Amino acid sequence: MSLSVANPSSAERRPALSVVIPMYEEIDNVEPLVARVHEGLADYRGDWELIGVDDGSRDGTGERLREVAERAGPHLRVIRLRRNFGQTAAMQAGFDAARGELIATLDGDLQNDPADIPRMVDELLERDLDLLQGWRRQRQDALLMRKIPSRIANALIGKVTGVALHDYGCSLKVYRAEVIKEVRLLGEMHRFIPVWMAGVTAPQRIGETEVTHQARRFGVSKYGISRTLRVLLDLLAAFFFLRFGSRPGHFFGSIGLLFGGLGSLMMTHLLVVKFILGESIGQRPLLFVSILFLVAAIQFLTTGVLAELLTRTFYATGERTHHRIRWESNPESAGWKVYP
C-alpha cells in the first residue's frame, strides 16, 4: 500500500498505525493515558496498535501496563526493559516492535494529546512527508527551567544542522515506519530525531505542525536545567555524524593536514634561519611549537585512518541495539484495534 497520498479524502482508509509510548516512573499516568489514546483514536480510519515501553521503572509502571493490557485487548502491547536504559533506547525498542506503516510517538506524562494524532496522520499524507514534528506553541511548562533553555537549544540546533524546527523536544511525532526504521537510535539521540532523519531523507520531507500541550497532572518531570549541557554535547555528536559519519577520515585528516601544513611552514622558516642566516634555533619557542604541530598532525592523520577502518567494519557487520528487553507481549498474539 503506497503512503504517498497527495490529497487523501476524508472517507479513505488510513494506513495501519503503531503508537509508541516510552514510560519511566509514570504509574499514575498509565490508565488515564491508555484511556486518552483510545478516545483520541476512536475515529481513526484505520487499524492501530498501542505499544507501551516500560523503561525499567521501579514504581510498578510495568506491572500496571500489563494489567491494563489484559483488560484492553491484544492491540495493547507491552515491552519491559531490564533496567532504565533511557528514553532513546525505549523508543528504539518500540520502533523495532512496531508493525504499522506509520508510527506515532508521544510522552507518557499526559502532556501530549493523543487526539492530535489522526489530524497529524492526515497532514503527513497530504503534505507527503516522512516525519511530522509536533510544535508546542502554547507550551504549559516553567518558563525559566523548560521554555527558555528549549528555545535556545532549538535555535542552535537549527543553525548548526540546517533543519530548522520550532520544537525539537516535542515527543508527539508521526513517522513513516520505513524511514524511521533506517535510523538506529543510541545514547540520547531522541532529542535530535529530525536531524538524524535528515540523514536518510530530504529535509524538505520533514515538517511541523502545532499541537496541544497540557500541564503535567501526575508524577514529576525527569528533565532539568542540566539537560542544556547534554544537548550541546549531543549536538556536537550529531553534527559530526551527519557530516562525517561515513567518512571520518575527512574530519580528522583535514585537521591533521592543517597542523602539518603549519608545522612544515614553521620548520621551513627555522631551516632558513639556521642554514642561510646562520643563527641558532635550539632555544626558540617556535621550534617546539613546530614539532608539536607535526606530531599532532601525525596523530590526527593516524586517527583518521583508524576511524575509516572502524567505520567500514561497523557497516560491514551491521548494527546492534544497546537495550535489553526483560519481558514483551507475545508478538504472535498481538492484534489491532480494527477500524469498522
> What is the full per-residue pLDDT of the chain (340 aa) written as tens digits?
344 444 555 568 899 999 999 999 889 999 999 999 999 999 899 999 999 999 999 989 999 999 999 999 999 999 999 999 988 899 999 999 999 999 999 988 888 899 999 999 999 999 999 999 998 877 655 556 556 666 766 666 766 666 778 887 788 999 999 999 988 887 777 878 888 888 788 888 999 999 987 766 665 555 555 566 677 777 777 777 777 777 888 889 999 999 999 999 999 999 999 888 888 888 889 999 999 999 999 999 999 999 888 877 766 665 555 566 777 787 777 888 787 6
Q: Which amino acid is present at 230?
A: R
Cα(181)–Cα(53) distance, rounded to whole angstroms? 17
In this prediction, residue 47 carries a pLDDT of 95
The strand ranges marked E within 2-73 are: 17-23, 48-54
What's 166's DSSP letter?
Answer: S
Q: State CA 295 to chain mean position distance.
A: 37
- 3-state class of 29 per DSSP? helix
Task: Report DSSP letters for 228-247, one per residue.
Answer: HHHHHHHHHHHHHHHHHTT-
Q: What are phi and psi of 140, to 5 degrees?
A: -100, 65
Q: Which amino acid is present at 273?
A: V
Q: Are 38 and 69 in contact (CB under 8 A)?
A: no
In this prediction, residue 20 carries a pLDDT of 96
The strand ranges marked E within 177-218 are: 206-210
- 3-state class of 103 per DSSP? strand
Count other C-beta atoms under 10 Å from residue 135's C-beta.
20
In this prediction, residue 6 carries a pLDDT of 47
Q: Are 61 and 53 in contact (CB under 8 A)?
A: no
In this prediction, residue 266 carries a pLDDT of 94
Q: Are 65 and 82 in contact (CB under 8 A)?
A: no
Tracing cell 532529542 back to the chain, one arrives at: 191
What are the boundaries of each domain within the chain? Answer: 17-244, 248-312
Q: Are 196 and 183 in contact (CB under 8 A)?
A: yes
Q: Are 89 and 185 in contact (CB under 8 A)?
A: yes
Strands 48-54, 17-23: pairing is: parallel
Cα(35)–Cα(298) distance, rounded to whole angstroms? 61
Cα(44)–Cα(40) distance, rounded to whole angstroms? 8
In this prediction, residue 114 carries a pLDDT of 93
Closest CA to 308 of 248, 235, 238: 248
- 3-state class of 210 per DSSP? strand
Q: What are phi and psi of 52, to 5 degrees?
A: -95, 125
Task: Report DSSP letters for 291-325, one per residue.
Answer: HHHHHHHHHHHHHHHHHHHHHHHHHHH----S--E
Mention the CATH class of domain 17-244: alpha beta
In this prediction, residue 204 carries a pLDDT of 87
State pTM to two decimals: 0.73
